[in-house]
Amino acid sequence: MNRRRLIAWIATAVTSMMLVIGSQFINLSPANSTTTLNVYAAVSLTNALNAIKTQYQNANPTINVVYTFGASGTLLSQIQAGAPADIFISAATDQIDVLQNASPSKLVAGSRKNVVRNRLVLIAPTTPPVSTGSAALTSFNGLTNANITGIAIGDYTGTPPLVPAGNYTKQVLTSRGIFTTLNPKLYLASNVRNVLTAVENKTLVVGGVNKTIDAGAVYKTDAALSNKVRVVETALTTESDPIVYPLGILTRTTVLTTAQSFSNYLTGTTAQNIFKNNYGFLAP
């Protein structure tokens, strides 16, 4: 009887061990694996792309989209330094031109396309206290008024420019013949969302010093996110380069099929409806 019990115990132990070992292989099976897609994108796309990510991942549960947001020029520098980007979406053509025109090209042939467009607007704060200059501001030209002492714009320096929104702003002010006059009042922010925050808070730290901000220039889609600013004027499309968001797939990607899938999704009906209807972007 003891021998029979021993044999039964051994059989049970062996069966349990096989089940444990088998479960390890099941957990490691390719069917449960996740593909990570690294997307480097202009910070002005943050809200829209996060909403699109939710929809895309619901439809593609084995894909994990990881975003890195920032000024387009900053992202370009990171990519050039070897950042593991699979897709780059800039807020201007200049930054993506650098990658496409490299020798050899850093973009997958035929992968470049415009995803959306935008408009540039002048904004002023609305939360009290509002300065006399801010309250009376009605146009870009009004920035020359002596009551306007501080204007926040994106950092337009660098080749290509660090912050496309800042470069578009410089072009608008130049086209109106007031850039040189306004230059002493311009305070540069590291990205367009920081410009929005500076106008909301009516201050921007520059070189460790707090500068009073009476107005700023951001994209129309950024202004729409805030209830602390008002749109003073929308720049004409003829006053700057077209405000487009080009996308390119990096040749360094190891998940090309996934990158192509997401790229196609961004210009498809679902994503375009989110861009346009929910966040105010314009069709490419």
Q: Which residues are annotated as a binding site?
A: 44, 72, 165, 192, 219
Can you read off the two tokens belonging to residue 58?
């619901």
Q: Which residues are annotated as a binding site for molybdate?
A: 44, 72, 165, 192, 219
* Look-up of token digits 């801010």: 134
CA distance 150 to 168: 18
CA distance 208 to 203: 12
Residues 51, 82, 191: CA angle, nearest 5 degrees: 50
Orientation of helix 164-175 relative to helix 192-201, angle to 10°: 70
CA distance 74 to 270: 29
Residues 179, 180, 181: CA angle, nearest 5 degrees: 90
Residue 14 vs residues 11, 17, 22: alpha-carbon distances, Å: 5, 5, 12
CA distance 149 to 213: 7
Residue 32 vs residues 27, 29, 59, 63, 122: alpha-carbon distances, Å: 7, 6, 15, 11, 49
Which H or E run contains 12? helix 2-27
